[in-house]
Amino acid sequence: MMKKMSLIAVCMLLLVSNVLLAQNKYVGASACKMCHMTKGKAYPVWSTSKHAKAFEVLKGEAAIKVGKDNGVTTPSTDAKCLKCHTTASSAGAANGGITNADGVSCESCHGPGSVYKTKMTNLVEAKKAGLIIPTNAVCIKCHNTEIHKSLTFDFATKMKIISHKNP
């Protein structure tokens, strides 16, 4: 009987977790901008970063060469490239108005923000509502050698470049 109750408790926990995650929708960097223009300067840091320009990179000669080496004809339209160079491709239909031109925006690294964006004054509550604090594991989903064979990625060094802590 105890095992059965434990199994029921685990199933309920999984159900509640899945419902919470399903509630999180993408809202786009403009929704983040409202508060993060000054708080930690997150929006200005992002908007001038390589992440914000990641989609544009796919249109250049270097991307065409890398694409060719990986069986990709047009990097700016191929899912292999878009999955890491845009948030829009990850967001799918629930993209909150995010377009490929937005590049890799806030929610690629921090998760869909519709639920946690109203809880950002309390980090613990924001995390409970789905906010992701990027770790090496989050970053290497894209910053790896799957496509870019010679890529090296040092999490600590790269985090210093994009750091945008709230006050």
Given a contact cutoff of 8 angstroms between Cβ atoms, the answer to whether 124 and 118 are in contact is: no
Does residue 33 fall inside a structural domain?
no
Report whether pLDDT(138) > 60. Answer: yes
Is 10 contained in some domain?
A: no
Region 158-165: what's the mean pLDDT? 84
Q: Is residue 64 within 8 Å of residue 75, measured between CB atoms?
A: yes
Residue 3 included in any domain: no
Host domain of residue 95? 42-162
CATH number for the domain that contains residue 70: 1.10.1130.10
- Report pLDDT digits (tens) over 53-93: 999 999 999 999 999 999 999 999 999 999 999 999 877 76
Rounded Cα–Cα distance for residues 15 and 9 (Å): 10
| Alpha helices by DSSP H, 24-147 | 29-36, 42-47, 54-57, 61-69, 79-85, 88-91, 106-110, 123-128, 136-139
pLDDT band at 146 (very low <50, low <70, confident <90, very high): confident
Q: Is residue 29 part of a domain?
A: no
Residues present in the chain in total: 167
Q: Do residues 29 and 105 touch, judged by C-beta distance below 8 A?
A: yes
In a domain, 110, yes or no: yes
Question: Count of domains in the chain?
Answer: 1
For the cut 50, the answer to whether the pLDDT of residue 7 exceeds it is no
Alpha-carbon span 101 to 87, nearest angstrom: 9
Residue 28 lies in a domain: no
Residue recorded with tokens 């924001």: 126
pLDDT grade for 32, boundaries at 50, 70 and 90: confident
pLDDT (0 to 100) of residue 18: 44
Q: Confirm whether 140 is domain-assigned.
A: yes
- Closest by alpha carbon to 97, among 32, 41, 164? 32
pLDDT digits (tens, 9 = 90+) for 43-53: 998 999 999 99
Q: Output the pTM of the full model.
A: 0.79
Query: 150 in a domain, yes or no?
Result: yes
Q: How many CB atoms lie within 10 A of CB 23?
A: 12
